[in-house]
C-alpha cells in the first residue's frame, strides 16, 4: 500500500454527527446522498469521477446523438446548498471492517456507516482477447471512444479503393440483446440508412452490415413476449441482422468467431453482453454469491458486517420472487437507496428498520425513431406512443434543467432533420509535459 493510504484524507469538515461514507455516485449512491441532504448525518460521497453519468443514454453519445456533457452532471454542484454532504474524488482500494476504515488513493477515512454503491463493469466471461479488442460502453469515456472509433473507421474507409478491403471497417457487430444492445443496433442502423450516405457519398452502404448477436433464445429476455417480437420486427425492418441462440467464441480485432464456426468481419465489436459487480478488498469469500454480488439481508446490510450496506448491482438479496437476486437495473438501485435512507433515519430515532421490497415499475427500450417497446405492470404497448413515453421518462430522469433543455433540443432537431450534428472526430494527442511526457496513443485509429 502506498504512503498516501496511511494518512487520513485531508481537509474534511469536522462534525459530531454520525459519519456516513458512500462509495460510488451512480444511481444508488447519489440518491442516498440526496435523500440525506441536511439530515443529522455527516455524509461523505466518494467517486473516481467528479460527475454523475446517466447510463441509459450512453448509446446516444456513442452514436453521435448527444454530447457527453448532456448526460453528465457535476457532483459538487448538486450539493451547493448542503451543509452536511461532502464530495471527494478518490478511488477506493479496500475496507477494514474491524477498524471501520476505508482506504483510498487519497488517504483513509473512518466511518460509522458505510454504503457500497460501486455499480458494475463489463463482463467478458473470461475471454482475454475479447476484452482486449472489443469496445465496452459502461462509462461516458467509453461511449465517446466508440463514437470516435466509428467515425475514424469511415474516414479511413473513404481512402480505401477496393470494396472488399473496406468491409471490416464499415461493418458493426453488437453482442448482447438486452436494452443496450437493441438500442445501439437500432441507432447504428438509422445512421447507416439515413446519415452516413450523406456524409460519405463515395461509399456504398448496401455493403455495411449491422449485426446484433444474442446468446439467449430472444432479444430483451427480461421483457414480455410482445416486446421481444416487436423489437425483433423493428430491427429487421431497419436492416439489422439479428442472430439469437448464438455465442461469440473469440475476436481478434478483425474477425468475430462464432461457436458454430461462422465468422464475421469487423473492426468494431461493441460488447453489451453482460455485467459484473465492481469490487474492493476487505470482504471474505463467503460474503459473495457465485456471480460476484455481495450477499445482503432485507435491510441491504452485508451478512456478517455491522452498519456496512451494499446497494444496486453489487448486492444480492434472495427472495421467493427473486431467488437469483433483484434485477440489476436503475430502479432497483434507486428503491434500495430510498429504503436505506429511511432506515438510517429510523436508526437515529430508535425505530425499527423496514425491510426492502422491490416494486417492479416496468421496463422499456427504444429501437429507433418512433419505435419503442414498453412493459408496465398492467399494460404493454409498442410503437410511436411507446417511443414518446420512453423520451419523457428519460428526459425527466436527467439531472439539471440545462441538461434537460439541451437533450430536448437535440432530440427535437434530430427528429425534424434526421441529421445529428455531433459527428466530430476529436482526438487529443498530447497532455502537458508536467502531467505526461509521452504522447497518448490513439486507439481510435487502430
**The last residue of a domain, from among 349, 379, 406:** 349
For the chain, what is the domain count?
A: 2
Binned at pLDDT 50, 70 and 90, residue 446 comes out as very low
Longest dimension (CA), the chain: 75
3-class secondary-structure state, position 126: coil
Residue 67 in this model has a pLDDT that exceeds 70? yes
Q: Are residues 225 and 295 in the same domain?
A: no
Least confident of 59-68, 119-128, 211-220, 227-236: 59-68
Mean pLDDT, rounded, of the chain: 90
What's residue 419's pLDDT?
65
Q: Give the residue numbers spanning the domain of 151.
A: 128-273
Residues 162, 34: Cα–Cα separation, whole Å: 56
pLDDT surpassing 60 at residue 136: yes
What span, in angstroms and rounded, lies between the C-alpha atoms of 175 and 160?
27
- Same domain? 70 vs 22: yes
Return the C-alpha cell found at 124. 467478458
Tell me: the pLDDT tens digits for 366-405?
998 899 999 999 899 999 999 999 999 999 999 888 888 8
Is the residue at 244 inside a domain?
A: yes
What's the CATH code of the domain at 260? 3.50.50.100
Q: Are residues 114 and 63 in the same domain?
A: yes
Q: Provide, rounded to the nearest whole percent, the portion of the chain with pLDDT above 70.
A: 92
pLDDT(434) > 90: no
Task: Decide: 220 and 365 in contact? Cβ < 8 Å.
Answer: yes
What is the C-alpha to C-alpha distance for residues 180 and 365, in angstroms, rounded to an integer?
8
Residue 421 has pLDDT above 80, yes or no: no
Last residue of a domain, one of 251, 273, 295: 273
By DSSP bridging, strand 172-175 and strand 210-213 are parallel
Cell of 20: 456516513
Residues 132 and 269 in one domain: yes
For 268-309, give the secondary structure using H, E and C. EEEECCCEEECCCECCCHHHECCCCCEEECCCCEECCCCCEE
**In terms of C-beta density within 10 A (0-12 exposed, 13-18 middle, 19 or more buried), how is residue 321 classed?**
exposed
Question: Which residues, including other chains, have CB under 8 Å from residue 291's CB and lie 6 or more apart?
Answer: 276, 277, 316, 324, 325
Task: Reply yes or no on whether the pLDDT at 320 is more than 90.
Answer: no
DSSP assignment of 133-173: HSB--SSHHHHHHHHHHHHHHHHHHTT---HHHHHHHH-EE
Q: Does residue 439 surpass a pLDDT of 80?
A: no
- Is residue 116 a contact partner of residue 310, using CB atoms and an 8 Å limit? yes
Dihedral angle of Cα 272, 276, 279, 285, to the nearest 10 degrees: -170
Residues 306, 284 within the same domain? yes
> Which residue is it, cell 498516501?
4
Q: Does some domain include residue 56?
A: yes
The three-state secondary structure class of 125 is coil
Same domain, 247 and 310: no
Residue 354 falls inside a structural domain: no
Identify the CATH number of the domain in which residue 330 sits.
Answer: 3.50.50.60
DSSP string, 351-391: PPP---------EEEEEETTEEEEEETTEEEESHHHHHHHH
Distance from chain centroid for Cα 381: 25
Residues 187/173, Cβ–Cβ less than 8 Å: no
| Whether residue 32 sits in one domain with residue 13 | yes
Q: In this structure, is residue 407 part of a structural domain?
A: no
Average pLDDT over residues 166-190: 94
Other beta carbons less than 10 A from residue 84's beta carbon: 19
Q: Examine the domain organization and report whether 323 and 249 are in the same domain.
A: no
21 plus 55 within the same structural domain: yes
Q: 425 or 232: whose pLDDT is higher?
A: 232
Q: Is residue 379 part of a domain?
A: no
Record the pTM. Answer: 0.90
Tens of pLDDT, residues 215-244: 999 999 999 999 999 999 999 999 999 999
Report the percentage of the chain scoring pLDDT > 90: 77
In a domain, 398, yes or no: no
The C-alpha atoms of residue 117 and residue 296 are separated, in whole angstroms, by 13
The average pLDDT across 69-95 equals 93
- Encode pLDDT of 326-344 as tens digits: 999 999 999 999 999 999 9
161, pLDDT greater than 90: no
Of the three residues 291, 315, 349, the one that is the final residue of a domain is 349
The label of the residue with cell 451547493 reads: 80
The beta-strand segments (E) located in 164-267 are 172-175, 210-213, 241-243, 248-251, 255-258, 263-265
Considering the domain architecture, whether residues 39 and 12 belong to the same structural domain is answered as yes
CA distance 287 to 266: 41
- Report yes or no on 423 lying in a domain: no
Lowest mean pLDDT among 188-202, 247-261, 418-432: 418-432
Does residue 88 sit in the same domain as residue 146?
A: no
Contact 211, 241 (CB under 8 A): yes
Q: Is residue 249 located within the same domain as residue 332?
A: no
Q: Which three cell numbers stand for residue 444?
A: 481510435
Site of grid cell 425513431? 369
Amino acid at each position: 500500500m502506498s504512503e498516501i493510504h496511511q494518512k487520513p484524507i485531508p481537509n474534511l469538515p469536522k462534525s459530531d454527527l454520525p459519519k456516513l461514507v458512500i462509495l460510488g455516485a451512480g444511481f444508488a449512491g447519489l440518491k442516498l446522498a440526496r435523500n440525506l441532504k441536511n439530515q443529522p448525518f455527516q455524509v461523505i460521497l466518494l467517486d473516481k469521477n467528479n460527475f454523475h453519468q446517466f447510463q441509459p443514454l450512453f448509446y446516444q453519445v456513442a452514436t453521435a446523438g448527444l454530447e457527453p456533457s448532456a448526460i453528465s452532471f457535476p457532483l459538487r454542484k448538486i450539493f451547493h446548498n448542503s451543509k452536511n454532504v461532502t464530495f471527494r474524488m478518490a478511488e477506493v482500494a479496500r475496507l477494514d471492517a474491524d477498524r471501520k476504515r476505508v482506504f483510498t488513493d487519497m488517504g483513509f477515512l473512518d466511518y460509522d456507516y458505510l454504503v457500497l454503491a460501486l455499480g458494475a463493469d463489463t463482463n467478458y466471461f473470461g475471454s482475454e482477447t475479447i476484452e482486449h479488442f472489443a469496445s465496452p460502453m459502461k462509462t461516458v469515456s467509453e461511449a465517446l471512444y466508440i463514437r470516435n472509433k466509428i467515425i475514424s473507421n469511415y474516414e479511413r474507409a473513404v481512402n480505401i479503393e477496393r470494396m472488399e478491403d473496406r468491409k471490416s471497417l464499415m461493418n458493426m457487430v453488437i453482442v448482447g440483446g438486452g436494452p443496450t444492445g437493441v438500442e445501439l443496433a437500432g441507432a447504428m442502423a438509422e445512421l447507416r440508412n439515413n446519415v452516413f450516405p450523406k456524409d460519405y457519398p463515395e461509399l456504398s452502404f448496401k455493403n455495411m452490415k449491422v449485426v446484433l448477436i444474442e446468446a439467449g433464445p430472444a432479444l430483451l429476455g427480461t421483457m414480455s413476449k410482445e416486446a421481444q417480437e416487436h423489437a425483433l420486427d423493428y430491427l429487421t425492418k431497419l436492416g439489422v441482422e439479428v442472430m439469437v441462440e448464438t455465442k461469440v467464441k473469440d475476436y481478434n480485432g478483425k474477425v468475430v468467431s462464432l461457436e458454430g464456426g461462422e465468422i464475421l468481419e469487423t473492426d468494431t465489436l461493441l460488447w453489451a453482453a453482460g455485467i459484473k459487480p465492481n469490487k474492493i478488498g476487505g470482504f471474505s469469500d463467503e460474503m459473495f454469491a457465485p456471480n460476484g454480488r455481495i450477499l445482503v439481508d432485507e435491510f441491504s446490510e452485508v451478512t456478517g458486517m455491522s452498519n456496512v450496506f451494499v446497494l444496486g448491482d453489487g448486492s444480492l438479496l434472495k427472495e421467493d420472487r427473486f431467488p437469483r437476486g433483484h434485477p440489476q437495473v436503475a430502479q432497483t438501485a434507486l428503491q434500495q437507496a430510498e429504503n436505506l435512507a429511511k432506515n438510517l433515519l429510523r436508526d437515529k430515532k430508535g425505530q425499527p428498520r423496514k425491510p426492502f421490497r422491490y416494486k417492479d415499475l416496468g421496463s422499456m427500450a427504444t429501437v429507433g425513431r418512433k419505435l419503442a417497446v414498453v412493459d408496465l405492470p398492467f399494460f404493454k404497448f409498442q410503437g410511436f406512443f411507446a417511443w414518446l413515453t420512453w423520451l419523457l421518462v428519460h428526459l425527466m430522469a436527467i439531472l439539471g434543467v440545462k441538461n434537460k433543455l439541451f437533450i430536448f433540443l437535440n432530440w427535437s432537431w434530430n427528429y425534424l432533420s434526421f441529421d445529428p450534428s455531433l459527428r466530430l472526430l476529436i482526438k487529443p494527442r498530447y497532455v502537458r509535459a508536467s502531467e505526461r511526457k509521452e504522447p497518448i496513443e490513439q486507439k481510435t485509429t487502430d
